[in-house]
């Protein structure tokens, strides 16, 4: 009678592990398929973003100004006006209605980067002389917008990043069980 109860316990445990492996396989498969497009986009854009400082195609290199002493710099409003004028001169009328997104002051380089909202344009200006050092597109900015979903909307960014994060967490847990579960089943069968 005791032999039968040991075998029953063994069979129940084995069935429990096998059942959970089947469930985790289904979960892993459907979440993986559901997230596949997001994962491909996120991985490709992530690789590109990791190279943004290394490639002039993705982001213009930071120029060097004549003086790193902030006290010799021209006023910020004057530097932004110089940048706006330079962009208008290069791109014509469309640049007139292009508001400034951000201003990035680089004291160690003696420059100010003025980044515009439309077209991903960046103008680098020598902060002391006001000379325009560079006018170029920041391709890394639109790649980042694709990467985080903000190219569609802020709401889409929040929702998609949460779905991606939670989905990846579930994939990792399911993947670990799908790797470890069969080992546990084999151990049970050997210990029979």
Is residue 133 domain-shared with residue 78, that is, in the same domain?
Answer: yes
Answer yes or no: do 43 and 86 share one domain.
no
Position 3 pLDDT exceeds 90: no
Q: What token pair was written down for 74?
A: 């021209």
Query: Residue 192: what pLDDT?
Result: 60
Position 16 in a domain = yes
The answer to whether residues 44 and 81 belong to one domain is no
- Please tell me the distance from the alpha carbon of residue 94 to that of residue 89, in angstroms, as a whole number: 10
Evaluate whether residue 93 is within a structural domain: yes
Contact 64, 126 (CB under 8 A): no
Is there a domain that residue 46 lies in? yes
Domain count, the chain: 2
Look at residue 56 and tell me if it is in a domain: no
98 and 130 housed in the same domain: yes
pLDDT at 93: 63
Residue 181's contacts (CB-CB under 8 Å, 6 or more residues apart) are: 17, 20, 21, 24
pLDDT band at 164 (very low <50, low <70, confident <90, very high): very high
- Please state, for a pLDDT cut of 70, what percent of the chain lies above it: 95
CA 58, chain centre distance (Å) = 15
> CA-to-CA distance for 132 and 18, rounded, in angstroms?
68
Per the prediction, the chain carries an average pLDDT of 90
Pick from 10-24, 76-90, 112-126, 128-142: least confident: 10-24
Count of CB atoms within 10 A of residue 72's CB? Answer: 13
Q: Flag whether pLDDT at 6 surpasses 60.
A: no
Residue 119 to residue 106: CA distance in whole angstroms: 22
Whether residue 163 sits in one domain with residue 107: no
Same domain, 86 and 110: yes
pLDDT score, position 95: 67
Residue 162's domain comprises 2-51+150-190
The CATH number of the domain holding residue 104 is 3.10.450
Residue 140 CB burial class (10 angstroms; 0-12, 13-18, ≥19): buried
pLDDT given at position 111: 97
């Amino acid at each position: 009678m005791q032999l039968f109860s040991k075998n029953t316990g063994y069979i129940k445990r084995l069935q429990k592990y096998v059942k959970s492996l089947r469930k985790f396989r289904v979960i892993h498969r459907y979440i993986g398929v559901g997230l596949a497009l997001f994962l491909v986009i996120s991985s490709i854009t992530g690789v590109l973003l990791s190279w943004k400082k290394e490639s002039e195609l993705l982001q213009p290199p930071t120029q060097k100004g004549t003086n790193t002493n902030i006290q010799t710099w021209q006023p910020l409003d004057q530097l932004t006006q110089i940048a706006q004028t330079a962009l208008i001169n290069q791109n014509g009328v469309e640049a007139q209605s292009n508001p400034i997104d951000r201003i990035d002051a680089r004291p160690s380089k003696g420059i100010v980067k003025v980044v515009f909202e439309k077209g991903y344009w960046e103008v680098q200006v020598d902060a002391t002389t006001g000379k325009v050092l560079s006018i170029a597109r920041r391709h890394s900015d639109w790649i980042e917008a694709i990467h985080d979903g903000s190219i569609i909307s802020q709401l889409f960014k929040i929702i998609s990043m949460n779905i991606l994060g939670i989905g990846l967490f579930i994939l990792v847990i399911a993947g670990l069980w799908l790797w470890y579960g069969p080992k546990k089943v084999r151990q049970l069968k050997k210990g029979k």
